[in-house]
Structure 1
Amino acid sequence: MGNELDEVTGPVNRAGRDINVIEKQIPVTIGVGSLIFEIALWVAVPAVALGGVALGLVPLQDGLIVAALGVLPGLIFLFMKINALAYLRKLQQKIQADASQIDNYLEQRVIILNNVVGLLNKAVDLDKDVMKSVTALRSGASTGTDAQRNAASAEMESVLSRINVAFEAYPDLKAHAAVADAMQQNSYLQKEITAARTLYNDTVAIWNQDIFAWPAKQIVAARNRYTTRIPFTATAETKAAARETFF
């Protein structure tokens, strides 16, 4: 049997395609089959053993021993669910830790941008909205939800783009030691944010896969009303900038 998707024989979209992250959280659900599966683990073997005793096919003592041992699958699966719950809770804490790392870098970047804006205001007639944006970011640098973190990052990119416009209009600023140092720190933090985003998205991907791992993890996730998490996404402005001609 050949490959269902074959890059040699096509079809191929030569015009390319824009990829977007879907902003949707999918709840984990289970059906009646999972409930039947769990019940069967506890009662299937004991029921057969006791049925054999009732029909006289199995001696009473042997039937009781088999019935007692027959609950072992249920007990084993119970421990599997306990371990699954502990694992998913640990993974949630990992997501929070990764998100917190992004927040830390974003907050440091806001402080640096605030310093840059202060320096630029003394040298050039900077766009008044830049100062307002940085002030707003500084008051809410520590974000909470995935959406808030994404919005803060997007606003920061917008502010930085306007600062870069000022740099282009006043090339002498690039020789200003304090400004140059601040922009170098900003560049370093941007790389750290990119790495932190990648780590966060990797952990979110593991979470989104594991909560649907049947039977133990999916059953536990469904009963705890867990949903998928939305990974960190690029803004429309960033995507548009990536398509521009640089050289």
Structure 2
Amino acid sequence: MANDLDEVTGAINESGRDVNVINKQISVQIGSGTLAFEIALWTILPAIGALALLTDALPRTYGLGLLVLGAVPGLIFQFMKVFALAYLRKLQQKIQADASQIDNYLEQRVVVLNNVVGLVAKAIDLDKDVMKTVAAYRSGHNADAERNQASQKIDGIFSRISLACEAYPDLKAQAVIADAMRQNSYLQKEITAARTLYNDTVGMWNQDIFAWPTKQIVAARAGYTTRIPFTASAETKAAARSVFF
């Protein structure tokens, strides 16, 4: 049988195709079949036991056993849902922790920026809103969007500082500025790693909330939705396609 997607003889898109993250959260839903499944766990064995007692189809002890112990599958499933809810809540906290790690690195970059900007104040104007933006997203207001915006602003300012240093050899020669730029490079790598970890955790969340039956049932009744991973801006993508060398 041939592969559905044949990379050897299949059609090829010569012009290429860009990939974008869809900015949409998908809610978890369950249907009537899931409700019927849950009811069946509680009722099928007791119903069989009651029917056996009425018709004498099974020995009386067997019928009583089914009637008394028939709710065990339902109880077990209830405990499974409790554990599933605890797991999803724990995973939700991990997403928050991973996002906070990105915030911490961004804030460190702002500290580095504030330390160096005085030395280049005559060559560049500091964006006064950067620290306000960092403070805003740390308070939880539209965190993901503002996190991306703050990161892009900081990237832009450091780029301007680099250009200013190139234009002013005296600035470039200062050890404090050189050290600040090294710290910035290190922190940018850490932010990239932290974003990857964040996206991995978001990916786990987006898969697990649709894991039927327990996690999907719990997620649907809790009103959970998928989460949007970190996305680069259109400006960043355009810059990445530029010719650097």
Normalised to the residue count of structure 2, the TM-score between the two structures is: 0.92
In the TM superposition, residue 171 of structure 1 has moved relative to its aligned partner by 4.1
Query: Any conservation in 2 of the 1:110–1:141 contact (CA below 8 Å)?
Result: no
Looking at structure 1, the residues matched to 61 and 189 of structure 2 have their Cα atoms a distance apart, in angstroms, of 70
Aligned residue number for residue 131 of structure 1 = 127
In the TM superposition, residue 143 of structure 1 has moved relative to its aligned partner by 5.6
User: Deviations along 1:153-211, whole A, 9 cap, x unmatched?
Assistant: 12222222322332333344322111111111000100111111111110010000000
Aligned residue number for residue 182 of structure 1 = 180
Aligned residue number for residue 37 of structure 1 = 37
3-state secondary structure, aligned to 1:203: helix
Query: Any conservation in 1 of the 2:134–2:147 contact (CA below 8 Å)?
Result: no
Query: Any conservation in 2 of the 1:117–1:131 contact (CA below 8 Å)?
Result: no
Aligned residue number for residue 71 of structure 2 = 71
Aligned residue number for residue 241 of structure 2 = 243
Structure 2: gaps (5+ residues): none
Letter of the 1:131 partner, please give it. D
Taking only aligned residues, the RMSD between alpha carbons, in angstroms, comes to 1.7
Looking at structure 2, the residues matched to 57 and 139 of structure 1 have their Cα atoms a distance apart, in angstroms, of 72
3-state secondary structure, aligned to 2:47: helix
Aligned residue number for residue 104 of structure 2 = 104
Map of 1:1-247 to 2, 5 A cutoff? 1-121=1-121, 124-126=122-124, 128=125, 130-137=126-133, 139-140=135-136, 142=138, 144=140, 145-247=143-245
Query: Any conservation in 2 of the 1:49–1:66 contact (CA below 8 Å)?
Result: yes
3-state secondary structure, aligned to 2:152: helix
3-state secondary structure, aligned to 2:128: helix
Looking at structure 1, the residues matched to 75 and 202 of structure 2 have their Cα atoms a distance apart, in angstroms, of 31
3-state secondary structure, aligned to 1:30: coil
Letter of the 2:165 partner, please give it. F
Looking at structure 1, the residues matched to 81 and 8 of structure 2 have their Cα atoms a distance apart, in angstroms, of 45
Identity %: 65
Query: Structure 1 207/194 Cα, relative in aligned 2: closer, same or farther at 3 Å?
Result: same
Letter of the 1:167 partner, please give it. C
Letter of the 2:236 partner, please give it. T
Looking at structure 2, the residues matched to 140 and 108 of structure 1 have their Cα atoms a distance apart, in angstroms, of 16
Structure 1: gaps (5+ residues): none
In the TM superposition, residue 92 of structure 1 has moved relative to its aligned partner by 0.8
Looking at structure 2, the residues matched to 135 and 47 of structure 1 have their Cα atoms a distance apart, in angstroms, of 65
Looking at structure 1, the residues matched to 65 and 129 of structure 2 have their Cα atoms a distance apart, in angstroms, of 73
In the TM superposition, residue 82 of structure 1 has moved relative to its aligned partner by 0.8
* More divergent stretch after superposition (130-139 vs 52-61): 130-139
3-state secondary structure, aligned to 1:131: coil
In the TM superposition, residue 10 of structure 1 has moved relative to its aligned partner by 1.8
Query: Structure 1 200/139 Cα, relative in aligned 2: closer, same or farther at 3 Å?
Result: closer
Letter of the 2:138 partner, please give it. S
* More divergent stretch after superposition (66-75 vs 160-169): 160-169
* More divergent stretch after superposition (136-145 vs 192-201): 136-145
Looking at structure 2, the residues matched to 63 and 72 of structure 1 have their Cα atoms a distance apart, in angstroms, of 15
Query: Any conservation in 1 of the 2:105–2:187 contact (CA below 8 Å)?
Result: yes
In the TM superposition, residue 116 of structure 1 has moved relative to its aligned partner by 2.1
Query: Structure 1 135/149 Cα, relative in aligned 2: closer, same or farther at 3 Å?
Result: closer
In the TM superposition, residue 67 of structure 1 has moved relative to its aligned partner by 2.1
Normalised to the residue count of structure 1, the TM-score between the two structures is: 0.92
